[in-house]
Every structure is written in structure tokens, then in C-alpha cells.
Chain A
Amino acid sequence: MNPILSVEGVTAGYGRVTVLHDISLEAGRFGNVGLFGPNGHGKTTLLRAISGLLQPKSGRILFDGQDIAGHSARAIVGAGLIHVPQGNRLFPDLSIADCMALGAYSPRARPHEAENREKVIKLFPKLAERWRQRVRTLSGGERQMVSIGTALMSHPRLLILDEPTLGLAPKIKDELCASVMDISRGGVPLIVVEQDIEFLLELTQQLYLVNHGAVATEIKPGESLDHGEIMSMYFGH
């Protein structure tokens, strides 16, 4: 299978600081992709470059064969590449209903609005109970559901999740992990950044360790490692 996304030699950063150094990786060839690595080594920056929030300084980003590097975030959303950012800040004073309507804002997603709303409600029945409630008044877990739900309303062809379980209590986290597995089974390929390696091993078929803004190690299917080995990669030898 051709990769749905391939990042080729991307360099990017903030102002004069370079965070990503000539990073390359592929997604969608073997299934879902997981990214992990120490804090502050550029995972979020990579996702921001992919979704057009940050203009790469050089390199190519091919989505479905098209180079999207440097395209506007709107064009990239329009192509079906949807990014759920880290930290679910969302739109604090909008209701869940408003967020869902915004998720379906792009012309590509608009015709599927009703059908996607059904899907989101089926996946996260809790949201239906709080449909008119403001995002700011929701719990962390519920906010994460709204984030992911909004992304599903955008009718993703590829869904990127940045630390979806960050800061959630174990029970909520398990529920959310199960929902993410459901989304994947529904046929949406995923790229997921996570600190929880167990979850990544369960969800994804291919892993990348991102270190100092580059891929330090790639783990392909068949090369599955155990937890201990991954931990030793995290912390050096």
C-alpha cells in the first residue's frame, strides 16, 4: 500500500530556532502510526508543520501524493487531513453543538454533517447529554471527546491525534483509548502521539521514536519490541 502521508526531509522551527532537523517518515503503509519520544523534542512541532499551522523551512510533505508543505491549514483540512492539537483548548465559550457545526465547516465535510454527527454521538454518547453546554465548563475527558468529535465532523481521510490521553484519569483514559480504537476500526487511518507506549503498541502497526527533531528509530511491523526495550530507547542506552 502506498503511504497516505510521507514527510521528506522537513526542517522547521520557531523564528531562528530550528526544532525539526531534516525529519522523514511515512504513514499509512502498514496501518496506524505512533510517535513517541522525550518531551520537547518536536513531536507537536512536526504535527503543526504537517497540518499547515507552521510553515516548514524546507522539505516536502506528501498527502496522497500531493505536496502540501507550505499550504494553508484551510487547504489541508479541505483535503481531509485533520489534526487534533495537544491540550484541547478548543473554543471555550462555544457549545458542543457549535463545535460540531464548525467541524463540518469545510465544503468537503458539509454534505456528511448529519451522518458524521450520528457517528460522533454513537462514539461519545456523553456529548449528546451536554449538547448545549459550553466547552469551558466540561471536564478534561469530555473536552478531549469534543476535540476528537469535532475532528470527526471534518470527515477525515487521515486523523492526527496529539497526546489524546494527556492528563486523564485512568478510567476515562481507558474509555477514550477504546473510542480511538473504534475510530480506527471504522476505517480512518491514524497518526498518534502518545506517552503511553502500551496504548501505542495496541493501536498502531508502526512506531517512530522522535528525538532531537529527527527520527531516532523506526519500528516496523514484525519488529515489535517489548516495553523494556522501548523504555531503554527513551532513556538512552
Chain B
Amino acid sequence: MSALAEILFGGLFQGSLYAMMAVGLALVWTTIGVFNFSHGVFMMLGAYIAWQLVELGLPAAVAFPIAVVVMAGVGWILQASVVRPLIGRPNIVLVVVITTLAAGSLIENGALTVWGPRSKQIPALIAGNTTIGGVGVSLHQIAIIVITPLILAALWMFLNRTRLGLALRAVAQNEDAGHLVGLNVTALYGLAFAIAASLAGLAGIFMGGYRFMSPVMGSDPLLKALIVVVFGGISSISGPIFAAYLIGFFEAACSYYFGLYWTPALLFGVLILTLMVRPEGIFASRSRGLA
């Protein structure tokens, strides 16, 4: 019983974090057709901004939303500075991998300079612990498990039930046709990045509430998010969400039965197998669309 509870809980929790990260990557890929390698840095920055605001004396309930909004601005600016000027160039995918990596590394080093290497922690969403099915869990983690699906559902509603969401899905499919119905394509690109950065920032706040933060805290989640989108198919946002939870459960089960040490190797093994059976899972299919 407790084994099942532990795997279930661990999977839901890790899956939530991966989903928050992966959905932003997928959103940017489907609308703009680029991979954002500063996505992990967005996560770190969101956490540090939240930490700074709490340090300044703001209550968490105020600091966290502000940090998320600031991250939207950061996403927008990053898009305008290192992505938008390159749109329309040949090899845009590779070029943007490099520019976003470079920007990410600059921000990472900036964070190191400003905040120093000492690890920090931000307040939990809800303090305290409880036991479920014989497993001790923190209320913070339960809050994440509950909040994440709500946010993902809200994102889905926004994309599928609002005119602005419709516009985002439309540019993803045909940019010229988007221009010809009068969409502000540049602003929609900015919006995609802003949403992605906010979600990453929120994931950072989630993570900073139960683990120590450092300027490189985003690199492992970025890697995991990449695995998730590769695994789940890159051309939609529902695929990665599904894959995020699947991988979360897989990891939880592996680390329960084989230990934490073997988990990454097993995960990559599964990933490689998946790609061998379904190679179209990655870049091969460049058809994009949000659904």
C-alpha cells in the first residue's frame, strides 16, 4: 500500500513540475517554431525574484504573483532581443538554440553575481506536513499537485476558448495567413514567450519552496522538460502534459524499486527506445499546432 502511495505521490509531484516546464517549451515551439534554451533560466530567475521580494518583506502571497508577472516581462524582452530579430533567417532553429543558450548563460552568471552562490530557500506555499496512505508528505507538495492541473486547465481554456488563444493557435499553423487576417504576429510571439516564462517562473517558485535554490537550479528541469517534449511529441501542448506525468510516474517507480542512482539511465533507455520506435517524435515532423 505504502509503495503504491509513494509512487503515486512522487509521480504526481514530479509530473506537475515537468508539465509546468514542458508546456512552456511546447508553446514556444508550436507558435514560433524555435526551442528556447533559456527556459531553465526562466525557472531560476522566477525563484530568485520571488526570494528577493520575500527578503524585502513582502508576504509570499504578494511576492509570488509579482514574480510571475515580472517573469512574463522577462520572457517578452528575451523574445524581442534574441529571437524576433532572427525570424525569417535560414536555420532559425539552430541559431535560436545558440542565442537563447547565450542569453541564458548571461542571466545565470548575472544571478550568480547579484545573489551569490549560497543556496537559498523561499517559503512553502503551505507550511506543514501530513501523512497519506502511510507516506509522509508536505502540504507544499500537495498544493503543487492540486494547483498545477488547475493552471494547465486554465491555459487550455485560454488557448481553446478565447479569441486571443485562437489567434495564438492560428499563427502556430500559418504565419502568412495570420498576417492576412490582421493578427499582430510579433505581439503573439511575445505573448507565447511571456506565458512560457511565467509558467517556468512559477515552477521555480514551486521548486524553491522545498529544495535549496542555486543559479544553476534550472538546468536539470530544462533537460527533463526537453525529454518530456521529445517523448510526448512536440507539436501540441496536450502531448507534453501527458508525457510529463507519465515520466513523473516512471521516475517515481524507478527510484522506488531501483534507487535514485539508476533512474536517469533507465529514463534515457526508455527515451532512446521510444525514439527508435517512433522517430517522428522529435524534430522530424515540423507540423505545428496547439491543441
Which chain A positions have C-beta within 8 A of B173? 91-94
24 residue pairs bridging A and B, Cβ less than 8 Å apart:
A51-B179, A51-B180, A53-B176, A53-B179, A53-B180, A74-B185, A77-B179, A78-B182, A82-B180, A83-B180, A84-B180, A85-B176, A85-B177, A90-B174, A92-B174, A92-B289, A93-B169, A93-B173, A93-B291, A94-B166, A101-B163, A102-B166, A105-B163, A106-B182
Which chain B positions have C-beta within 8 A of A84? 180
Of A53, A77, A94, the residue contacting B170 (CB under 8 A) is A94
Q: What is the distance, in angstroms, from B63's C-beta to the closest C-beta of chain A?
A: 37
Q: Let me know if A227 is at the binding interface, CB within 8 A.
A: no
Are A77 and B180 closer than 8 Å at their CB atoms? Answer: yes
Write out, one digit per residue, whether chain B residues 150-189 have a CB within 8 A of any chain A CB (1) or not (0): 0000000000000100110110011011011111110000
Are B289 and A105 closer than 8 Å at their CB atoms? Answer: no
Question: A-B pairs with the 7 shortest C-beta distances?
Answer: A77-B182, A106-B182, A73-B179, A93-B289, A91-B173, A102-B181, A74-B182
How many residue-residue contacts, CB under 8 A, span A and B?
A: 69
Q: What is the distance, in angstroms, from B31's C-beta to the closest C-beta of chain A?
A: 13
Q: What is the distance, in angstroms, from A175's C-beta to the closest C-beta of chain B?
A: 23
Are A73 and B167 closer than 8 Å at their CB atoms? Answer: no
Which chain B positions have C-beta within 8 A of A22? none
Which chain B positions have C-beta within 8 A of A94? 166, 169-170, 173
- For chain A, the count of residues having a C-beta within 8 Å of the partner chain is 27
Known: A89-B174, A93-B291, A94-B170. A105 touches B182 (CB 8 A): yes
Q: Let me know if A52 is at the binding interface, CB within 8 A.
A: yes
Say whether chain A's binding surface is mostly helix, strand, loop, or mixed. loop
CB closest residue in chain B, given A82: B180
Are B177 and A74 closer than 8 Å at their CB atoms? Answer: no
Which chain A positions have C-beta within 8 A of B181? 77, 102-103, 105-106, 150, 154
Which chain A positions have C-beta within 8 A of B291? 93
CB closest residue in chain A, given B289: A93
> Measured between alpha carbons, how far is A89 from B291 in the docked complex, in Å?
19
Are A74 and B184 closer than 8 Å at their CB atoms? Answer: yes
> Measured between alpha carbons, how far is A91 from B176 in the docked complex, in Å?
10
Q: Let me know if A98 is at the binding interface, CB within 8 A.
A: yes
